[in-house]
Structure 1
Amino acid sequence: MLIGELAELAGTSARTLRYYEEQGLVRPQRDTHGYRQYDEAELKVVHEIRSLLAVGFGMDDIKPFVECLRATGSGHVCPDSVAVLRRKLAEVDGLLAELADVRLRLHTQLTQALAHRETPCSSPSPTPPSTRSC
């Protein structure tokens, strides 16, 4: 299939496919006129690339998955892919811990703000209560 056909089937653009080729991830054949020709295996590779990008992997992280996919038919079973998965999982766990800390701090601040708002002002003021700020 030509680059336009692959782009349409993969839900991407020809420009993106050329970028993947520059990164060494997609391997087109060239016909006698120099046009890129892709076989069905490249569609699977492009789907793998796009799914990994969608969950936050970078282009360098994706290379072991593509190599593994070409060698075994599955991008996740080779030692290099497993190492990248472990590293990415540890990164995500760290981000989740940071987010949990931020959430706790925000919850504490909100609780304090609501408690302060519900507490009447300690000093009397000549300003009517509806316009008074504490």
Structure 2
Amino acid sequence: MRIGELARATGVTPRALRHYERAGLITSRRERNGYRDYGSGTTNRVHNIRHLLAAGLTLDDVQVFLPCLDGDIRAAPPSPVGIQVARDRLAVLEHRIAAQTAARDRLAAALESLGENAVRGVRAWDVPRPGQRGVS
């Protein structure tokens, strides 16, 4: 099947499919005219890749699952390596969430200290940037 057909069958853009191919997650055979020709099992593989990405894993993380991407990854028992990859990714996400929450809280506190009336009339270009006078 050609890339457009695979894209329609999986709901993934051709650009994403080319990206997955560059990452070594899917393969194609090139026809004489240069078009990509994907095997019928690629549809299932792409669905599994999307499932793992939707769970919060990265393409690098998905590499660990290469041996089982052609099967029913949702029904298969998890491997110890897969569980560790998921735990590691969860730790990264929790760290990022904590950092973003702290930044949000600092910004909210700064706005609150200005008072409600002062905040309403502030324009983006009036707010001093770090390194400008008046910013600590």
* TM-score bucket (shorter structure): 0.5 to 0.7
Root-mean-square deviation (CA), in Å?
3.4
- Determine what percentage of the aligned residue pairs are the same residue: 34
How big is the shift at 1:85? Answer: 0.8
Q: C-alpha deviations, 1:32-65, integer Å up to 9, x for none?
A: x9962421x3212112223444565432211123
Residue 29 of structure 1: CA displacement?
A: 6.1
Deviations 1:7-32 (A, max 9, x none): 2211234454344233221144678x
Which has more radius of gyration? 1
Q: For residues 84-133 of structure 1, what are the alpha-carbon distances to aligned partners after superposition, in whole Å with 9 as ceiling and x for unaligned?
A: 1111100111111112211221222122111795xxxxxxxxxxxxxxxx
Equivalent residue for 2:131? Answer: none
Mapping 1:1-134, distance limit 5 Å: 1-28=1-28, 36-39=37-40, 41-53=41-53, 57-70=57-70, 73-74=72-73, 77-114=78-115
Bigger relative contact order (CA 8 A; separation at least 6): 2
Q: Which runs of 5+ in 1 are unaligned?
A: 118-134
Q: SS state of the match for residue 26, structure 2?
A: coil
Task: Count residues with an aligned counterpart.
Answer: 115
Q: Give the TM-score of the pair, scaled to structure 1.
A: 0.63
Q: Distance in 2 between matches of 1:101 and 1:19?
A: 34
1:97, 1:26 → 2: CA distance?
34
Partners of 2:49 and 2:69 within 8 A in 1: no
